[in-house]
Structure 1
Amino acid sequence: MQNVTEPTKLRKVVSVKEGELLMDKKLLTEDGYNALKKELLYLKEKRWKEVSEKVQESRNFCDFNEDPEYQTSVDEFATLKKKINDLEYIIKQAKIIKNANIREVGIGSIVTVKEMTEKYEMHFKLVSPAESYLSENYISDESPIGKSLIGHKLNDNVIVMTPSGMMHLLITEIQ
């Protein structure tokens, strides 16, 4: 059996929409795919056991009708089960992309942009929604910035409409 350790960060998994076509492939970077597989292994091998034991313990000492601790553990188990199902679906449907094109922005690109109005730089990796993790500067290709940058080249000026207003970006580096 593999050594199962807690992933360095648990990502927010984008929930699979009901009725989504099974043929719909999920674009993932290789790093993102590996991180999701590692998280799934952790959830199935370690968290599942912990939460199951918690449910069993609370079941042994409760009045099923009026025990908030039991209900909390059952809710936690249901949430875990849904997250595992969502991760399994995303991994099963994954299409790993390798962005070797450093001439234009795409999923997997590491991009540096300069915000022209405020004069600050942003550095991030463009990834699929299942991989996005803002505190690590992984932004989704479906976010306002991600959508706007896809297909643009070095030194392109890009105008982005965000919920907080308009941004004027200059692409200064693509890796």
Structure 2
Amino acid sequence: MVNAKQIDLTVQGKKELEDELEWRKVSERDRIKEAIQVAREQGDLSENADYTSAREEQSKNEARITEIEDMLKHARIVEITTIKIRYVAKNLVKEFQVCGSETDPFAGKISNESPLAKAVLGHKAGDHVFMTTETGKDMEIEVLEIKK
């Protein structure tokens, strides 16, 4: 997956990608190279499942290396913003960290490209904003806190 689009990453997210890239280029390449060599020593490659599997791993690893390099090439560092909101209809208070591309909604980390982040960022505590979810549902949100 080669991207021409700018990728927003936090400092930590960029570091994690750089670490993964280094691991894939050094450790993982060496491990796969060794697995291919061992499989070659088994003889006939046309029916060698170990060889086929190792070559598939190699292909996936190289594709991921290309993807990470492209992401890092187009990376823009963004600051983490913490938002605390209240879903008005449910009277439910939630807190999220607005990050770049490295999201984990279950851990409270959302993308700055998400509908919620786009609706809330740029507002201040006490503001009521309306957003449409990805499923088309309209929601009213009260901004309780925004901090960098």
What's the TM-score bracket when you normalise by the shorter of the two chains?
Answer: 0.7 to 0.9
SS in 2 for 1:84: helix
Is 1:132 equivalent to 2:118 in the alignment?
no
The TM-score, its normalising length taken from structure 2, stands at: 0.79
In structure 1, runs of 5+ residues without a counterpart are 1-14, 99-107
Q: In the alignment, which residue of structure 2 is the partner of 1:29?
A: 10
Q: In the alignment, which residue of structure 2 is the partner of 1:87?
A: 68
**Cα distance change, pair 52–114 in 1 and its aligned pair in 2 (3 A):** farther
- Cα deviation for residue 36 of structure 1 reads 1.8
SS in 2 for 1:75: helix
Cα RMSD of the aligned pairs, angstroms, is: 2.3
Is 1:65 equivalent to 2:50 in the alignment?
no
- Higher helix content, 1 or 2: 2
In structure 2, runs of 5+ residues without a counterpart are none
Contact kept in structure 2, 1:113 and 1:172, CA below 8 Å: yes
CA distance in 2, matches of 1:41, 1:135: 28
The TM-score, its normalising length taken from structure 1, stands at: 0.69
Q: In the alignment, which residue of structure 2 is the partner of 1:38?
A: 19
Contact kept in structure 2, 1:62 and 1:70, CA below 8 Å: no
- Cα deviation for residue 66 of structure 1 reads 3.1
Larger radius of gyration: 2
Contact kept in structure 1, 2:110 and 2:117, CA below 8 Å: yes
SS in 1 for 2:138: strand
- Equivalences for residues 91-110 of structure 1 within 5 A: 91-98=72-79, 108-110=80-82
Aligned length: 146
The share of aligned pairs that are identical, in percent, is 25
